């Protein structure tokens, strides 16, 4: 697949470090010949993202806080000036107050509900609207979601509600942008130990549960997610839009604890 992404230019949003899902996706795209730009949130992350981008031959590293409309406009204005066109965008961004990623969903505060929805859901739509203008030749938009949108998972709480809204957004965006040849999809990734995941209560237990009970009897890696992202971002998936691809070692098809799963 060395030339799969040759000639394609893509924006990667949500890289924090080399554990990030965005990193697994960026590496897969770069290996397949894509040219990449990166956005980061906050000056502290610039020091991390800059060297990672450089490893993949990219020197386009731009600030963007998705809770700020002007900041998103600034990012896309820079991209337009540098590239003029865009072929794909990866949205690997989510945020909620970690104090509410434990305990009961019913106790979610109004302010954190609104912030979680704004950063984790609306931002994808806000980005899609700007990306559309640079995708005259069509394109592919990808976001990241989790099974906690579909079924109740311990501690996922308001983030599960947000991911359900994000998955619905994927479908509405797919319809709106499909007429322009822009495809919109999600990957529902199994649990992976990242910075964002470390905020979720009992995350080690959740990882073990998935390892013992998923059909593949293991957890997925950012490499697994990167490979599937390559499919959705490239022309291999030219007939696919509005899809939610589960990259979760098959966990989403399981209805009962495995007979061979040890007690944890």
Interface with ligand NAD by CB under 6 A: which residues?
Answer: 14-16, 20-22, 41, 45, 64-67, 92-95, 119, 144-146, 189, 191-192, 194-197
Annotated binding site for NAD(+): 14, 20-21, 41, 65-66, 93, 163, 192-196
Least distance between ligand NAD and beta carbon 75 (Å): 10
3-state secondary structure the chain: CCCCCCCCEEEEECCCCCCCHHHHHHHHHHHCCCEEEEEECCHHHHHHHHHHHHHCCCCCEEECCCCCHHHHHHHHHHHHHHCCCCCEEEECCCCCCHHHCCCCHHHCCHHHHHHHHHHHHHHHHHHHHHHHHCCCCCEEEEEEECHHHCCCCCCCHHHHHHHHHHHHHHHHHHHHHHCCCEEEEEEEECCCCCCCHHHCCCHHHHHHHHHHHCCCCCCCCHHHHHHHHHHHHCHHHCCCCCCEEEECCCHHHCCCCCCCCCCC
Least distance between ligand NAD and beta carbon 189 (Å): 4
Least distance between ligand NAD and beta carbon 147 (Å): 8
Cβ closest to ligand NAD, residue 34 vs residue 66: 66
Least distance between ligand NAD and beta carbon 8 (Å): 21
Would you call 172 a catalytic residue per the annotation?
no
Annotated catalytic residue, options 40, 147, 156, 251: 156
Annotated catalytic residue, options 146, 147, 231, 251: 146
Cβ closest to ligand NAD, residue 26 vs residue 86: 26
Cβ closest to ligand NAD, residue 18 vs residue 137: 18
Cβ closest to ligand NAD, residue 116 vs residue 237: 116
Would you call 156 a catalytic residue per the annotation?
yes
Active site residues: 146, 156
């Amino acid at each position: 697949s060395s030339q799969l992404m040759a000639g394609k230019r893509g924006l990667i949003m949500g890289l924090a470090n080399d554990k990030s899902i965005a990193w697994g996706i960026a590496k897969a795209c770069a290996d397949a010949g894509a040219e990449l730009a990166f956005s980061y949130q906050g000056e502290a992350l610039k020091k991390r993202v800059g060297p990672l981008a450089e490893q993949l031959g990219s020197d386009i590293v731009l600030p963007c806080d998705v809770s700020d409309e002007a900041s998103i406009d600034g990012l896309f204005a820079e991209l337009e000036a540098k590239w003029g066109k865009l072929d794909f965008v990866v949205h690997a961004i989510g945020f909620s107050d970690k104090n509410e990623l434990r305990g009961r969903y019913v106790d979610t505060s109004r302010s954190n509900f609104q912030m979680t929805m704004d950063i984790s859901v609306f931002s994808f739509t806000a980005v899609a609207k700007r990306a559309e203008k640079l995708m005259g030749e069509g394109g592919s938009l990808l976001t990241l979601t989790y099974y906690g949108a579909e079924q109740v998972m311990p501690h996922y709480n308001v983030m599960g509600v947000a991911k359900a809204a994000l998955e619905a957004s994927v479908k509405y965006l797919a319809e709106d942008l499909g007429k322009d040849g822009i495809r919109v999809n999600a990957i529902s990734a199994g649990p992976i130990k990242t910075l964002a995941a470390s905020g979720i209560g009992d995350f080690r237990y959740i990882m073990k549960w998935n390892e013992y009970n998923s059909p593949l009897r293991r957890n997925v890696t950012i490499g697994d997610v990167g490979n599937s992202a390559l499919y959705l971002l490239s022309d291999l998936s030219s007939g696919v839009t509005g899809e939610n691809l589960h990259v979760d070692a098959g966990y989403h098809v399981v209805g009962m604890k495995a007979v061979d799963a040890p007690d944890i």
